[in-house]
Amino acid sequence: MEIAALGIDVGSTTVKMVAVNRAGALVWDYLEPVAPRVSRQVDDFLAKLGAKIGSLAEIPLVATGYGRNLVQQARQSKTEISCHAHGVFQELGHGGTLIDIGGQDSKVIVIGARGRILDFAMNDKCAAGTGRFLENSAARMQIPVAEMGAVALTATEEFTITSTCTVFAESEIISLLAQGVAVEPILMGLHRALVKRVAAMVRSVGLVPPLLLSGGVVKNPAIRKVIADETGEEVFVPTHPQLMGALGAALFALKLAD
Amino acid sequence: MPINIPQRKAVIQDIKSRGGMVAAVLPIHYPRALLRAFNIFPVEVWGPPRVDVSLGGSQLQSYVCAIVQNALSFIKMGALEIADLILIPHTCDSLQGLTSLLIDMVKPPSPVFPLYLPRGRREEDVIFLAEELQSLYAGLAELTGRRPTDAELLAAIAREELCDQLSGRLYEQRQTLGLGNLDFYRLLRSREYLPAEEFAALAESALAVEAAPLPGTPLLLSGILPEPMMVLDLIEEMKGLVVADDFAGCGRRLYRPGLSPEPFRRLAESLVAAPPDPTRGNAIGDRVQFLVEMAAKTYARGVIFYEVKFCEPELFDLPELRAALKERGLVSLHIEVDINNPLPQQTATRIGAFLEMLNH
């Protein structure tokens, strides 16, 4: 396996690391929940990769994500906005409006035809437009997060969740369940509530089609469907949506290798 | 070069020890010279930090900005009792509400003077403001027992006009003063409490320095005030350079001198002709033109709207303003801050991403 550069995305929920070859293609990746001691966790990541391919000393590493400044091994750090845009542009080969929904924030990034960021907006003050909103709700409803989307899509009706706050939404779920409302319509309403927050951000920057998605949350099929519903746009999702930040970081690292 | 700027508290004590009076002045526009002609020294109150905001919160809605919340809390703590008067310009509904609260309910020991500002730049606005300033004069005369002559008023006006001119030159020479973002704004903002003579001396000493141009991606900042000021260091750490601003407390107070030889009219002309400001009802189109021209003149590559949370005059204009700037090729970033809190990590990410975007 040829590795020319490495990227690491230290998110609020998971840490993702990828390796790319000289052509910028993703050749290795690893993901696990973020640990409190990020630097040690990165050491473990590098040791795992080193065990496979030998010395990594000369291979440049760029860090991104919420904990990027904790990665002492990185030669450079870049914001997740630049990295997600770079990764998605490389993967999909065109610009557009990228929605990235992460565990604890969400972003909307307008990417130009040549991969340049033209504008962006970020929600980082409220959990209601992020993966945390679904995680909390999933816990309350005792449904695994990974299954939430599929279950929601079986709903034949939808309950409107009026609260846009994660904490109040949880109270609302409890109240609806107590009234005997079925799980599926509540779930669909939760997906809609999350997406409406993100759609407002899209409107604030102005949607430039096509609509691109990244982040772990977009693996959820109901999120993809509701985003398409709310925006009226077909959505394009890279093969590894959760790794786009790390991929972008690796691509920046590749420039350092040159 | 570090600048030795006297501390606000020491300045107030010095004024008092010399028999001067102190006016606590709330944002934004007011006639400094008129106060000084009465030997009253204006000390501005821009929502001082580290106050118990629950004191103000008990009488204000939660969506009133921190500048007003903190000011009310500060007054209720008794911290403004050192002031001989409180002057509150009618800048926004929240400040007008604060004036009513103070006069009708809180009744602080120092007298409260409202100042009504016109919402336009027409001749009738100048006339209105000149009359308003005359009423303020009458109130101050009653308070102090003094009646400054026109010559005394014009002398005070001349001192403040010199400071306005020096502030303008500080902006013009911004990049060769050798001052980092934070030091530059500490110097500019010292005028919030320094007597004109002291500010002029500081500004002149700063202007005497000619340093190598500072590096960094040139940025323009807009909003009410650069608070928390740590944002200035943050921008510098990320290799950005604040080359100009449209802050209500800074760049929007670069007053040009009035033309009239009559003091009240001269003051009014100067205040009315100040750079466009949403709190004075200036049109968004005027603001767009002003910002685009400022960016072109200073080579600023983007605008950061660094806004105080819940500031209605600022936030109402913002979507339209940003869209119009974008059409004119000037990209912008919007950050909302609570001036009572330290800057969150997310703010650093946004500014970092904005600079990366500009430098791509």
Query: Chain A residue closest to B360 (CA)?
Result: A116
**B52 vs B221, residue with greater confidence:** B221
| CA angle centred on A188, ends A183 and A191, rounded to 5° | 125
For testing the chain B interface, which of A119, A123, A201, A207 should be mutated: the one with the most B CBs within 10 Å?
Answer: A119
Average pLDDT on A158-163 reads 80
Q: Which residues of B touch A78 (CB under 8 A)?
A: 356
Cα A183 to chain centroid, rounded: 25
Best mutation target, A64, A68, A79, A126, to test chain B (most B CBs within 10 A): A79
Q: What is the DSSP string of A72-128?
A: TT-SEE--HHHHHHHHHHHHHSS-EEEEEE-SS-EEEEEE-TTS-EEEEEEE-S-GG
Residue B131 pLDDT class (50, 70, 90 cuts): very high
pLDDT score, position B242: 96
* Inter-residue long-range contacts of B259-265, CB under 8 Å, 24+ positions, other chains counted: B261/B154, B262/B150, B263/B150, B263/B153, B263/B154, B263/B157, B264/B130, B264/B131, B264/B133, B264/B134, B264/B137, B264/B153, B265/B126, B265/B130
Residues 138-197 of A with CB under 8 A from B: none
In this predicted structure, the answer to whether residue B225 has a pLDDT above a threshold of 70 is yes
ipTM, 2 dp:
0.83
User: Is the per-residue pLDDT at B149 higher than 90?
Assistant: yes
pLDDT over 80 at A162, yes or no: no
The pLDDT, as a whole number, for residue A48 is 84
The SS3 call for residue B178 is coil
Query: At residue A122, what is the residue type?
Result: M
What pLDDT is attached to residue A10? 93
Q: Could you tell me if A212 and A183 are in contact, meaning their C-beta atoms sit under 8 angstroms apart?
A: no
Report d(CA B222, CA B151) in Å as an integer: 37
Q: Does B331 touch chain A (CB under 8 A)?
A: yes
Q: Dihedral (C-alpha) B52, A123, A246, A225: value to the nearest 10 degrees?
A: 150
Residue closest to B336 by CA, chosen among B327, B347, B325, B321: B347
SS (H, E, C) B27-70: CCCCCHHHHHHCCEEEEECCCCCCCCCHHHHCCCCCCCCHHHHH
Confidence of residue A133 (pLDDT cuts 50, 70, 90): confident
More confident site: B353 or A181: B353
Backbone region of residue A95 per phi and psi (left: phi > 0; alpha: psi in -120 to 50; beta: other values): beta
Q: Give the range among A126-140, A207-221, B288-302 with minimum mean pLDDT.
A: A126-140
| H/E stretch holding A203 | helix A183-205
Which chain A residues are closer than 8 Å to B357 by Cβ?
Answer: 81-82, 116-118, 120
Average pLDDT over residues B130-138: 98
A252 touches chain B (CB under 8 A): no
pLDDT > 70? residue A62: yes
The owner of tokens 């939760």 is A190
The reported pLDDT for the residue numbered A146 is: 87
Residue B353 has its nearest CB partner, among A82, A118, A204, at: A82
**Range with the lowest mean pLDDT among A178-182, B274-278, B333-337?**
A178-182
Q: Best of B336, B356, B359 to disrupt the A interface by mutation (most A CBs within 10 Å)?
A: B356
Contact: A124, B319; criterion CB under 8 Å: no
pLDDT of residue A12: 82
Give the closest of A79, A116, A206 to B349, CB-based. Answer: A79
Q: How far is A82 from chain B (nearest CA, A)?
A: 6
A258 pLDDT above the threshold of 80: no
Check A117 against B352: CB less than 8 A apart: no
Kindly determine whether residue B356 and residue A82, on different chains, have CB atoms separated by under 8 Å.
yes
Nearest-angstrom CA–CA distance, B279 and B283: 10
Q: What is the per-residue pLDDT for B272?
A: 96
Q: Does B237 touch chain A (CB under 8 A)?
A: no
Q: Between residues 101 and 130 of chain A, which touch chain B (CB distance below 8 Å)?
A: 105, 116-120, 122, 124-125
Instruction: State the smallest CA–CA distance between residue B352 and chain A in angstroms.
Output: 6
Average pLDDT, chain B: 94
pLDDT > 90: percent of chain B: 89
Contact B357 A82 (CB under 8 A): yes
What percentage of chain A carries pLDDT values higher than 90? 57
Q: In whole angstroms, what separates CA B42 from the centre of its chain?
A: 13
Tens of pLDDT along B230-272? 999 999 999 999 999 999 999 999 999 999 999 999 999 999 9
Report for A40-54, A122-136, A233-247: range of highest mean pLDDT: A233-247
Strand A211-214 vs strand A117-123: parallel, antiparallel, or unpaired? Answer: unpaired
Residue A174 pLDDT level (bands cut at 50, 70, 90) = confident
In order of their start, the domains of chain A are 5-85+243-257 (3.30.420.40)
For tokens 């580290």, the residue is B50
Would you state the structure tokens that stand for residue B19, as one six-digit string?
A: 């028999």
B356 in contact with A, Cβ within 8 Å: yes
Between chains, do B360 and A82 touch, taking CB under 8 Å as contact?
Answer: yes
- Asked whether residue A86 carries a pLDDT value surpassing 80, the answer given is yes
Higher pLDDT, B158 or A130: B158
Contacts of B16 (CB under 8 A, 6+ apart): B22, B82
> Cβ B349–A124 below 8 Å, yes or no?
yes
Task: Using CA coordinates, name the residue in chain A closest to B346.
Answer: A124
Flag the least confident range among A133-142, B111-120, B136-145, B306-315: A133-142
The whole-chain average pLDDT of chain A stands at 90
Q: Is B251:B171 a contact under the CB 8 Å cutoff? A: yes
Tell me how close the Cα of B333 comes to any Cα of chain A, in angstroms: 8
CA distance A249 to chain B (A): 13
CA distance B348 to chain A (A): 9
**Per-residue confidence (pLDDT) for residue B309, from 0 to 100:** 92
| Closest residue, chain B, to A106 (C-alpha) | B346
Residue A165 has pLDDT above 80, yes or no: no
Cα A83 to Cα B295: distance, rounded to the nearest angstrom: 28
> Of the ranges A159-163, B23-27, B73-77, B103-107, which one carries the lowest mean pLDDT score?
A159-163
Three-state DSSP at B143 gives helix
* Residue B198 tokens, joined: 């002291």
Q: State residue B2's pLDDT score.
A: 64
Q: Which residue of B has its CA nearest to A118?
A: B357
Q: Which pLDDT value is given to residue A145?
A: 87
**Lowest mean pLDDT segment, chosen from B58-62, B71-75, B97-101, B214-218:** B58-62
Q: Which pLDDT score is estimated for B3?
A: 77
pLDDT at A228: 96
The closest CB to that of B353, out of A81, A116, A125, belongs to A81
Q: Would you call A76 exposed, middle or buried from its count of C-beta atoms within 10 A (0-12, 13-18, 19+)?
A: middle
User: Is B320 an interface residue toward A (CB < 8 Å)?
Assistant: no
pLDDT at A239 over 60: yes
Mean pLDDT of B30-56: 91
Q: Sorting pLDDT into bands at 50, 70 and 90, what band is A126? A: low
